[in-house]
């Protein structure tokens, strides 16, 4: 499993390195802007650009990590490089497990990294740009007026992040299953692409329905987010088992 | 050692391997022969547990082939399959990470014989060099069965000599070597038994010495006899 994980990370490290590079440049620009302070025009500009780029990288980074993972699985099942994996004495459960684990860890670690970075940057920003704290308070009051239960604090943002990451992991697992069905069972059949897409949509609807059904009617926002995240994770585990079973029984390379 | 029992593999309406029962023993070098599309690669892939049979069973040491048998069966596909980021050294490390029977020092020896360097990028290798690399990786394993699919494909005469010498060095009484190729004359110098397959069906397994002694035929003569007649009939 260790060797499989090592090579799964190796297959995707280049894209991650690019994201890290962009993040480092944006963070440096942001920190220079903070150091220059609100009185300096260039400082404000650097803070704005840096924050914007960091936000974009955080959003797209997690998204692209998932998409890249699905593309790698697709290549491993449908091109000659698949021999590198399937000729090894490793079961489909181990092969897919390494892929899922690598993807889950990458999503989780990048999510945690950007959450911490965001938290530190925002704290730093408020300490240097005092007017922003007033703007934030105004925004909070507005949300509170709409719904008394909504308080945008660190805990809620953390729950939101966890729920989002778990949902994304479930989405990637659904794409895995759809792709495995397409490569192992529907390969060469008519309407393969459409059927695969429909299966993916059906699974997404099923996950949404499960989240709605399993979330109690009266529950705090934070708890609700965590329940939805938990359902997503449990669903991912089920999808993994089904996918590996299909790979084991039907996939030929 | 390696046995297929009434094995069938279908791809939609096409039957690639059609009820083949075949038993291969250790201590021999088998040449698997047949024109394109006769089912050689499909049979090998099933033996390497890379492909599931539609019907029948593939056995290694009496047990159905599985992930476990991949520990002892070294398969080399006809197409290059390395990850694009790999160097020759990375490819060796990869095998070293996954196969307990892989020997890095033996790999280095084979690379020297094949005139390949560790720092070479696999994506920039010529087809001949890639073929030599695949062979070095496969033969650096101390496996019980070696299956080389078209090891001489697209490579020049000198490289073929190098490959042939390496293959012959690995042929010991405990090991089974199975090679497929279109280059029948080339195979005659390596193999001691031949498996003839046509349109997915097993035609014959013959001992080449017996063939020479009893029928005064070479492997190439027998090949012409089997497939030449088929082509005329078609």
The ipTM, to two decimals, is: 0.84
Nearest-by-CA chain B residue for A8: B83
Kindly report the pTM of this predicted structure: 0.83
Over the stretch B101-134, which tens digit does the pLDDT of each residue have? 999 999 999 999 888 999 999 999 988 889 889 9
Per-residue pLDDT tens digits for A186-235 = 876 777 888 888 999 999 999 999 998 888 878 888 888 899 999 999 99
CB neighbours (10 Å) of residue B123? 13
- List the helix and strand counts (H, then E) for chain B: 9, 10
Chain A interface includes B82 (CB < 8 A):
yes
Distance CA B143, CA B109 (A): 17
How much is the average pLDDT of A56-70? 88
From B50, B75, B98, residue closest to A252, measured CB to CB: B50
Encoded tokens for B109: 């020896």
pLDDT the model gives residue A149? 66
Nearest to B142 by CA among B204, B190, B92, B71: B71
B121 DSSP assignment: B
Mean pLDDT value across residues B160-169: 84
> What is the pLDDT at residue B234?
41
Distance between CA atoms of A230 and B230, rounded to whole angstroms?
Answer: 64
**pLDDT of A142 higher than 60:** yes
Tokens for A203, please give them.
Answer: 């699974």
Q: Which of B77, B61, B79, B193 lies closest to B127 in space, CA to CA?
A: B79
Nearest CB to A253; choose among B11, B50, B97? B50
**B101 and A CB contact within 8 Å:** no
Question: In this predicted model, which residue has the larger pLDDT, A40 or B172?
Answer: B172
Going by pLDDT thresholds of 50, 70 and 90, the confidence category of residue B233 is: very low
Which residues in chain B have their CB less than 8 angstroms from residue A183's CB? none
Q: By CA distance, what is B54's nearest residue in A? A: A250
Q: How far is B164 from chain A (nearest CA, A)?
A: 24
Mean pLDDT computed over every residue of chain B: 90
b/e sequence B129-140, b meaning 16+ C-beta within 10 Å: bbbbbbbbbbbb
Please state, for a pLDDT cut of 70, what percent of chain A lies above it: 93
- SS3 assignment, position B11: strand
**Interface list for B 7-26 with A (CB within 8 A):** 11-12
Contact A89 B77 (CB under 8 A): no
Could you give the CA distance from residue B128 to residue B142 in angstroms, rounded to a whole number? Answer: 24
Q: Is A11 on the interface with B (CB under 8 A)?
A: yes
Residues shown for chain A: 253
Q: Give the number of A-B residue pairs with CB atoms closer than 8 Å.
A: 52
Window from A45-49, B29-33, B62-66, B99-103 with minimum mean pLDDT = A45-49
DSSP sequence for B143-201: -SEEEEESTTTT--HHHHHHHHHHHHHH--TT-EEEEE-S-HHHHHTT-SEEEEEETTE
**In Å, how far is B154's CA from the nearest CA of chain A?**
17
- The listed range with the strongest mean pLDDT (A73-82, A119-128, B85-94, B175-184) is B85-94
> Mean pLDDT for chain A?
86
- Which residue among B52, B68, B83 places its CB closest to the CB of A81? B83
């Amino acid at each position: 499993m260790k060797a499989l994980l090592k090579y799964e990370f190796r297959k995707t490290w280049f894209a991650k390195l690019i994201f890290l590079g962009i993040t480092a440049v944006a963070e440096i620009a942001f920190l220079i802007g903070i150091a220059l302070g609100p009185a300096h025009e260039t400082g404000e500009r650097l803070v704005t650009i840096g924050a914007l780029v960091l936000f974009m990288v955080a959003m797209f980074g997690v998204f692209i990590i998932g998409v890249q993972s699905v593309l790698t699985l697709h290549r491993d099942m449908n091109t000659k490089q698949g021999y590198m994996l399937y000729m090894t004495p490793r079961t489909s459960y181990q092969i897919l497990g390494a892929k899922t684990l690598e993807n889950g860890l990458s999503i989780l670690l990048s999510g945690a990294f950007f959450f911490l970075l965001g938290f530190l940057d925002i704290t730093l920003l408020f300490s240097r740009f005092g007017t922003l704290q007033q703007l934030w308070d105004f925004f909070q009051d507005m949300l509170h007026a709409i719904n008394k239960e909504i308080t945008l604090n660190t805990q809620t943002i953390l729950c939101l992040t966890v729920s989002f990451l778990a949902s994304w992991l479930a989405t990637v697992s659904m794409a895995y299953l759809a792709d495995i069905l397409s490569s192992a069972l529907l390969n060469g059949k008519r309407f393969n692409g459409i059927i695969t897409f429909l299966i993916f949509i059906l699974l997404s609807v099923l996950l949404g329905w499960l989240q709605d059904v399993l979330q109690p009617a009266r529950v705090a926002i934070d708890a609700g987010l965590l329940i939805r995240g938990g359902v997503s994770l449990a669903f991912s585990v089920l999808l993994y088992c089904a996918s590996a079973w299909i790979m084991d029984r039907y996939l030929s390379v | 050692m390696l046995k297929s029992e009434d094995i069938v593999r279908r791809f939609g309406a096409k039957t690639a391997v059609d009820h083949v029962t075949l038993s291969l023993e250790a201590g021999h070098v088998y040449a698997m022969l047949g024109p394109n599309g006769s089912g050689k690669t499909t049979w090998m892939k099933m033996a390497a547990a890379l492909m599931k049979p539609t019907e029948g069973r593939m056995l290694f040491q009496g047990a159905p082939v599985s992930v476990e048998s991949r520990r002892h069966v070294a398969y080399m596909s006809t197409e290059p399959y390395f990850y694009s980021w790999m160097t020759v050294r990375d490819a060796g490390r990869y095998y070293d990470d996954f196969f307990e029977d892989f020997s890095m020092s033996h790999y280095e020896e084979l690379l020297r014989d094949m005139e390949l360097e560790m720092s070479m990028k696999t994506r920039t290798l010529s087809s001949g060099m890639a073929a030599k690399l695949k062979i070095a990786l496969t033969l650096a394993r101390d496996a019980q069965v070696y299956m080389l699919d078209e090891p001489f494909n697209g490579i020049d005469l000198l490289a073929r000599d190098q490959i042939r010498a390496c293959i012959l060095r690995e042929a010991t009484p405990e090991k089974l070597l199975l090679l497929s190729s279109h280059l029948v004359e080339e195979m005659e110098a390596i193999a001691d038994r031949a498996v003839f397959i046509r349109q997915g069906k097993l035609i014959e397994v013959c001992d080449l010495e017996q063939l020479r002694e009893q029928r005064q035929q070479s492997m190439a003569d027998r090949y012409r006899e089997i497939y030449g007649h088929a082509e005329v009939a078609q």
